[in-house]
């Protein structure tokens, strides 16, 4: 385990070693039932979350950035299926509204719907970069399009509707139109291509 700041030196660290998804090896070793094992593990996770919640929190930055939300959409979409592979009956204690993996897909879709409603222009198919109280005037950058498209593809792949795939395809067309370097290959990070031309040698 990595401990670069020596925070855990001389302390016990909770760890669950999982060689397989079958807990019978652990339960037989300690002569306990699987139900008892699940209860103990769930209680440990709850206590760990409570301790983490008491840590000093950083200053709140509550703006919504499209690229970051694209990454979150991917994470929640994937988690909605991956965590279902845990042992049946596992108790989850995570810092989100709703603690069951099946609800993570709803969280991913909620984030995608917010971006589509508040930060996407249906007429131009363009994105705004961020939102805080209202949409920013800054247009979306390449990473906003790229990460949102990736998130929408995960949303579709892991159980969302085909509408997310359709929107991803539309955004890909906009991304290509705005940022694709047809001559040199690759993509520009923003639409101000004259900057690159001015400094090129």
Q: Over its length of 201 residues, how does the chain's per-residue pLDDT go in tens digits?
A: 667 667 778 887 767 666 556 778 888 888 899 889 888 888 888 888 888 888 777 778 889 999 999 999 999 999 888 877 666 666 665 555 456 777 889 999 999 999 999 999 999 999 999 999 999 999 999 999 999 999 999 999 998 899 999 999 999 999 999 999 888 888 888 876 544 443 444
Query: What is the rounded CA–CA span in Å between residue 70 and residue 58?
Result: 22
28 three-class SS: helix
pTM: 0.65
Residue 153's pLDDT is what?
Answer: 97
Task: List, in order, residues 6 or more apart from 126 with CB less than 8 Å away.
Answer: 120, 139, 140, 174, 178
Query: What is the rounded CA–CA span in Å between residue 154 and residue 114?
Result: 17
């Amino acid at each position: 385990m990595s401990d670069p700041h020596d925070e855990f030196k001389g302390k016990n660290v909770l760890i669950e070693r999982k060689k397989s998804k079958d807990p019978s090896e652990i339960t037989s070793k300690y002569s306990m039932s699987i139900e008892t094992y699940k209860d103990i593990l769930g209680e440990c996770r709850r206590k760990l979350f409570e301790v983490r919640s008491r840590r000093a929190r950083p200053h709140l930055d509550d703006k919504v950035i499209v690229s970051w939300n694209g990454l979150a959409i991917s994470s929640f979409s994937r988690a909605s299926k991956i965590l279902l592979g845990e042992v049946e009956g596992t108790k989850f204690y995570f810092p989100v509204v709703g603690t069951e993996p099946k609800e993570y897909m709803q969280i991913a879709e909620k984030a995608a719907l917010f971006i589509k409603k508040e930060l996407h222009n249906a007429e131009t198919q363009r994105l705004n970069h961020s939102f805080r109280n209202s949409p920013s005037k800054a247009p979306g950058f390449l990473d906003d399009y790229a990460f949102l498209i990736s998130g929408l593809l995960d949303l579709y792949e892991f159980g969302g509707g085909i509408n997310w795939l359709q929107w991803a395809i539309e955004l890909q067309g906009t991304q290509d139109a705005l940022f694709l370097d047809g001559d040199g290959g690759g993509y520009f990070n923003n639409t101000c291509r004259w900057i690159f031309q001015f400094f090129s040698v």
